[in-house]
Chain A
């Protein structure tokens, strides 16, 4: 089955700096790559996602890049703010729509933004 590796496991940045989290996946058939943010004791919430027909996607201060050949994708957060402090999870799946969307998650990255 699919295996998703995520690095680093912890990341400490100064407010205003950028944060980058990297993930690799093993199944070349995976075509959907979401990123979830989970604050302490809260539910995971989708912040951005990308499909395999796109190389990059941006939404305000966050962006995701995908390299299908190398089977890796990355999350970039620019101009970090204290409220960006949370655990971030990458995930991969082969499905979507009527086929369902079984996600395989990475181990998570704990991001701390220091004011």
Chain B
């Protein structure tokens, strides 16, 4: 596609439920990043993929959070046993490793609300 696509754009769930957030990066971009942005804050790094493997998952807050990218393109962020504190906008970004600057191109985000 022309840009990074994220679905759903909005997700409302109840505390304790499981959610999946999907990211479709720019075609050909090998690097994919997940960030979390709380209201009035800067994006906070969660995890970075280079191809199919998670190159850096140091930002995942706890073991309720998991992400996969099985074919090196689309990625899914999975959150188990959601808590109210998980409410935020989850941003996905991709970049091309062939470009010197490695500019990150962001999607519009998935707004998660946990009631």
A44 and B103 contact, Cβ closer than 8 Å, known pairs A102-B48, A102-B56: no
Let me know if B55 is at the binding interface, CB within 8 A: yes
**Size class of the B contact interface (CB-based, 8 Å):** 20 to 34
Let me know if A61 is at the binding interface, CB within 8 A: no
Residues on the B chain within 8 Å of A43, using CB: 4, 91, 106-109
**Cα distance A104–B108 when bound, in Å?**
19
Q: Which of B74-115 contact A (CB under 8 A)?
A: 91, 95, 97-104, 106-109
Residues on the B chain within 8 Å of A6, using CB: 42
Let me know if B41 is at the binding interface, CB within 8 A: yes
Among A36, A96, A102, A104, the residue within 8 A (CB) of B101 is A96
**Cα distance A27–B1 when bound, in Å?**
36
Residues on the B chain within 8 Å of A115, using CB: none
Q: How far is the CB of A71 from chain B (nearest CB, A)?
A: 18
**Size class of the A contact interface (CB-based, 8 Å):** 20 to 34
Residues on the B chain within 8 Å of A100, using CB: 31, 48, 50, 55-56, 95, 97, 102
Q: Which residues of A contact B (CB under 8 A)?
A: 1, 4, 6, 32, 34, 36, 42-46, 49, 51, 89, 91, 95-98, 100-108
Q: Which residues of B contact A (CB under 8 A)?
A: 4, 31, 33, 35, 40-45, 48, 50, 55-56, 58, 91, 95, 97-104, 106-109
Closest 6 pairs (CB-CB, A-B): A105-B42, A101-B102, A96-B102, A43-B106, A98-B97, A44-B106
Interface CB pairs A-B, < 8 A, 29: A4-B42, A32-B102, A34-B103, A34-B104, A43-B4, A43-B91, A43-B109, A44-B43, A45-B106, A46-B104, A49-B101, A49-B103, A51-B101, A89-B43, A96-B100, A96-B101, A96-B102, A100-B31, A100-B55, A100-B56, A100-B97, A101-B33, A101-B102, A102-B56, A103-B43, A103-B104, A104-B45, A105-B43, A108-B42
